Structure 1
Amino acid sequence: MELLGMNLLDTLTRIDELIWGLPLLVLLVGTGIFLTWRLGLIQIFRLPLALRYVLNSRKAEIGVQGDVSSFAALSTALSATIGTGNIVGVATAIKTGGPGALFWMFLAAFFGMSTMYSEALLAVKYRTVDANGQMSGGPMYYIKNGLGHKRYSKVLASLFAIFGVNVALFGIGTFPQVNAIVDSARIAFDIPEILTAAVLSLLVAFVTLGGIRRIAAVAQFMVPFMAMAYVLGCFVIIGLNLDKLPETFALILSSAFSETAAKGGFLGAGVMLAVRMGIARGIFSNESGLGSAPIAAAAAKVREPARQGLISMTGTFFDTIVVCLMTGTVLIMTDSWTEDLAGAYMTSYAFSTALAEAGSYIVTVGLIFFAFTTILGWNYYGERCTEFLFGVKGILPYKIIYILIVASGAFLTLDVIWVLADIVNGLMAIPNLIALLALRKVIAAETTQYFEKLESRDSEPKKLNSCES
């Protein structure tokens, strides 16, 4: 059995390296760079407006189609993105690729913000209503409806939906998250794996069988609270080690462009490995370019596609540029990356060196909550992909299979889980990125029209005052 497991891991690793090779990295980052240029650095100049929209998005727009408010849609998307990638993924990236991986993670997220904006805009523009009266949207719909005149559009849309179901069932949605929760509960509280798996399965069943409104209700409550608590812990550690901040950032920058020498439990890494690990783990965390978050964006009660695009864009900002950057800074600042530790153990060690036992509990509880909400979010993504492929009759069987996989997900080895998750993530990104590039003119036109409308609204009072005088 051990030999079989090694052969499986070797085979999956080769497939993973092939999929996540230079072509996909260029396609992911290149699409973000192109959209950043095409949209005039929207993630810089429109970020303040986007953040204002987030603060005012708790109430749904009146008389607009949708299932939940814009804030609830963002929270659902963040529930799926703020997960083990922010704790385990960042630690894995730095442990394998060195401190420079954090720079490439940040850079990919910066350009990924324009990708996320574009995905959400298209999701709202091309969304439809299913037989149950719920909103359905995302890449499968903007591929099919946006590229409807293209011969390959239906095939490409179906491929995305198939990959999306597989990511939900065998990738981000289940195994990595369940594994993280079970390990954390066993290490911190000595709870048996089978008990944790049973309770987790019951909770997931209770929430997900209630549909998008129940998932969004849980996400709205848990996501802001857990993210702020975790980031606050990071700020405290950074504040206690403020004198190390300049050398930490200097190490990150130098390691991003040169080989990182072996140090302690770190075996050393070249630049290409840092680039690959930073981008791959960054995408695993924020999902920009995968096409998952726009599935949640399509459920928002919002009138203008560009407005929801701006709101969704902040998801990448919060997930990677805030949470992942904080985690990575703490790991490097405390020298935890040089210890003979991996994954959550490394992050827990970093927190405990600065905050004693309370630090390890922050990581453990944070990881459990992060992973749990990711399971909920990805259940919804897989559900919408299933509905696209099989109609509403496929939703209940899908949910039952999902819950059963959650129950059994505690019993796979970590190495196989991460490699399997990487493979299906990469496959999901390909049809989505092709569609984004093909629909670039639609994205640009919708964006221009929206901001021209905003400018005309802002100028109307001035014109009125001018006439009155």
Structure 2
Amino acid sequence: MNLIDVLNNIDSFIWGPPLLILLVGTGIFFTFKLGFLQLTKLPKALKLIFCAENNGSGDISSFGALCTALAATVGTGNIVGVATAIKAGGPGALFWMWIAAFFGMATKYAEGVLAIKYRTKDENGQISGGPMHYILNGMGEKYKPLAIFFSFSGILVALLGIGTFTQVNAITDAINSSFGINPKITGIILAILVGLIVFGGLQSISKVATKIVPFMSVVYIGLCAIILVSSFSEIPEALSLIVKGAFTPTAAFGGFLGSTVSMAIRNGIARGVFSNESGLGSAPIAAAAAKTNWPAEQGLISMTGTFIDSLIICTLTGLSIILTGVWQSNLNGAVMTQAAFGSILPTVGPLFLTLSLSLFAFTTILGWSYYGERCFEFLFGVKCINGYRALFVMMVLLGAFLKLEVVWIIADIVNGLMALPNLIALLALSSVVVAETKLYLDHLDKKSKFEKVI
């Protein structure tokens, strides 16, 4: 057995049933603890995206914090991950992706609450928050090793995998395939652009994210909508296939080899969690920088990230793949999604998918550069921040020249390890989440009564 086989076994173990059960279980716990808040307060949360007062201490607006988190979240997982899940688990995998997202919204809410509650300022006066801070400031000094473990894992993920190599390879391959541009040239241009933005700090990253993320999301949703409209009469049958496939084995069709219920569950939940990152501890690092005085307010805004990522974008991707029938072919990953778009929009579809994939991956690079930076600052202070940024840009450049499978697997392993200290902290501080929720809901109730009197 070689090194890659060993690492693949470790990766499969870490991302196996125990972690997936813990991730979804934490979401179920908070769902009941908070009285199904992701359902009852979703309209309020969606309204807050655009109407939050932004009058508290923080570095960026609540919308900017959400876009920064979405920049890192909405990416190749929404295009490649969904296709991979359906290819392995059948249409039923999409149903389990919905389940993971529904309960993940409660987890993401809790992360947002704790991010604001326990955030601090670094030596430069910039907001710093996330799991490492709510572990240390919420659980106590004796749990500092847990915070260090999370931060170290976060740096490795940012530098070696999700933040750099995998995204760079996705961009260079897509552009080379569609336009014939040499991956090395694309990589050099990409590294320059990332450097210009990253060295500007969070304000610069947020400014770019608030422009690209909404624009590309609308374009991608629009393209998927065209596919859905063109196959409108087949949507009920597709939804039936999704629900049936979630509870019964899917027979083989065409190039599809068939799947069991366990395959649908595992692939749907795993890809869903990987796509929306609920419970992994990454999004609260961005949420902590929001201008708000109410932890629960940012918690509500944060949970819309999972709603947008999984229940909207992933669902549209999945339905496009199922409606066009490409899930039954021999294709997989981005090529499968590209075939779905190409079947309805032969010329424009694949080109727009390349553009979407490239920009989604680009913003993921920017989001993870900030996540890694805050983890780096927690461990080493602010003096070497520019050194970290330079190293990050160098890794982006290397991503165009190297395709190291072993590095990707290690990054996937460490990404899973990030979740463990974060989930421990979420469960340990659940009473704080409930208390902050009650404070905010009481505030809203009093505000509503006061406005009625006026």
- TM-score under structure 2 normalisation? 0.97
Q: 2:167, 2:361 within 8 Å by CA — same for their partners in 1?
A: yes
Alignment partners' CA distance in 2, 1:419 and 1:97: 21
Query: 83, 104, 113: which is aligned to 1:91?
Result: 83
Spell out the pairing of 1:264-279 with structure 2 (5 A cutoff). Answer: 264-279=254-269
Query: 326, 332, 341: which is aligned to 1:342?
Result: 332
- For residue 232 of structure 1, report the CA deviation from its aligned partner: 0.6
Query: 19, 26, 29: which is aligned to 2:24?
Result: 29
Deviations 1:271-322 (Å, cap 9, x if unpaired)? 2222221122112211110111110011111111111111111111001100
- For residue 169 of structure 1, report the CA deviation from its aligned partner: 1.4
- Per the alignment, residue 357 of structure 2 pairs with 367
Query: 37, 51, 54: which is aligned to 1:42?
Result: 37
Structure 2 unaligned segments of length 5 or more: list them: none
Aligned-pair identity in percent equals 56
Task: Check 1:371–1:417 CA distance in 2 against 1; reply closer, same or farther (3 A cut).
Answer: farther
The CA RMSD over aligned residues, in Å, is: 1.5
- Per the alignment, residue 397 of structure 1 pairs with 387
Query: 310, 321, 324: which is aligned to 2:300?
Result: 310
Q: 1:264, 1:339 within 8 Å by CA — same for their partners in 2?
A: yes
Q: 1:89 is matched by which residue type in structure 2?
A: G
Alignment partners' CA distance in 2, 1:234 and 1:357: 15
SS, match of residue 293 in structure 2:
coil
Task: Check 1:65–1:143 CA distance in 2 against 1; reply closer, same or farther (3 A cut).
Answer: same
Deviations 1:177-213 (Å, cap 9, x if unpaired)? 1111011110000000110111111111110011000
Alignment partners' CA distance in 1, 2:425 and 2:372: 19
Task: Check 1:90–1:168 CA distance in 2 against 1; reply closer, same or farther (3 A cut).
Answer: same
Is 1:66 matched with 2:61? no
Query: 278, 283, 290: which is aligned to 1:288?
Result: 278
- For residue 170 of structure 1, report the CA deviation from its aligned partner: 2.0
Spell out the pairing of 1:237-252 with structure 2 (5 A cutoff). Answer: 237-252=227-242
Alignment partners' CA distance in 2, 1:96 and 1:417: 24
Alignment partners' CA distance in 2, 1:420 and 1:271: 29
Is 1:207 matched with 2:197? yes
Q: 2:11, 2:409 within 8 Å by CA — same for their partners in 1?
A: yes
SS, match of residue 345 in structure 2:
helix
Alignment partners' CA distance in 1, 2:214 and 2:361: 14
Task: Check 1:293–1:399 CA distance in 2 against 1; reply closer, same or farther (3 A cut).
Answer: same
- For residue 356 of structure 1, report the CA deviation from its aligned partner: 1.2
SS, match of residue 374 in structure 1:
helix
Deviations 1:316-374 (Å, cap 9, x if unpaired)? 10011000000001001111111111211111100000111111111110000000000
Task: Tell me which moved more, 136-145 or 175-184.
Answer: 175-184
Alignment partners' CA distance in 2, 1:283 and 1:414: 24
- Per the alignment, residue 139 of structure 2 pairs with 147
Query: 83, 91, 102: which is aligned to 2:94?
Result: 102
Q: 1:177, 1:375 within 8 Å by CA — same for their partners in 2?
A: yes
Q: 2:214 is matched by which residue type in structure 1?
A: P
Q: 1:77, 1:293 within 8 Å by CA — same for their partners in 2?
A: yes
Q: 2:184, 2:401 within 8 Å by CA — same for their partners in 1?
A: no
Q: 1:402 is matched by which residue type in structure 2?
A: F
- For residue 422 of structure 1, report the CA deviation from its aligned partner: 2.9
Deviations 1:21-58 (Å, cap 9, x if unpaired)? 2111110000000001001111100000011111214x
Alignment partners' CA distance in 2, 1:252 and 1:9: 34
Is 1:7 matched with 2:2? yes
Task: Tell me which moved more, 415-424 or 231-240.
Answer: 415-424
- For residue 82 of structure 1, report the CA deviation from its aligned partner: 0.7
Is 1:259 matched with 2:253? no
Alignment partners' CA distance in 2, 1:84 and 1:461: 45
SS, match of residue 393 in structure 1:
coil
Q: 1:60 is matched by which residue type in structure 2?
A: N
Query: 366, 374, 377: which is aligned to 1:376?
Result: 366
Is 1:407 matched with 2:407? no
Q: 1:171, 1:424 within 8 Å by CA — same for their partners in 2?
A: no
Alignment partners' CA distance in 2, 1:264 and 1:107: 28
Alignment partners' CA distance in 2, 1:12 and 1:91: 24
- Per the alignment, residue 233 of structure 1 pairs with 223
- For residue 268 of structure 1, report the CA deviation from its aligned partner: 2.2
Q: 1:284, 1:425 within 8 Å by CA — same for their partners in 2?
A: no
Q: 1:197, 1:410 within 8 Å by CA — same for their partners in 2?
A: yes
Alignment partners' CA distance in 2, 1:199 and 1:311: 34
Q: 1:50, 1:314 within 8 Å by CA — same for their partners in 2?
A: yes
Task: Check 1:226–1:191 CA distance in 2 against 1; reply closer, same or farther (3 A cut).
Answer: same
Task: Tell me which moved more, 253-262 or 230-239.
Answer: 253-262
- For residue 421 of structure 1, report the CA deviation from its aligned partner: 4.0
SS, match of residue 392 in structure 1:
coil
Alignment partners' CA distance in 2, 1:405 and 1:265: 37
Is 1:53 matched with 2:53? no
- Per the alignment, residue 3 of structure 1 pairs with none
Alignment partners' CA distance in 2, 1:326 and 1:434: 33
Is 1:388 matched with 2:378? yes
- Per the alignment, residue 105 of structure 2 pairs with 113
Is 1:320 matched with 2:310? yes
Q: 2:160, 2:408 within 8 Å by CA — same for their partners in 1?
A: no
Q: 1:176, 1:417 within 8 Å by CA — same for their partners in 2?
A: no
Q: 2:156, 2:411 within 8 Å by CA — same for their partners in 1?
A: no
Alignment partners' CA distance in 2, 1:110 and 1:361: 32
Task: Check 1:221–1:461 CA distance in 2 against 1; reply closer, same or farther (3 A cut).
Answer: closer
- For residue 412 of structure 1, report the CA deviation from its aligned partner: 4.7
Structure 1 unaligned segments of length 5 or more: list them: 1-5
Is 1:441 matched with 2:436? no
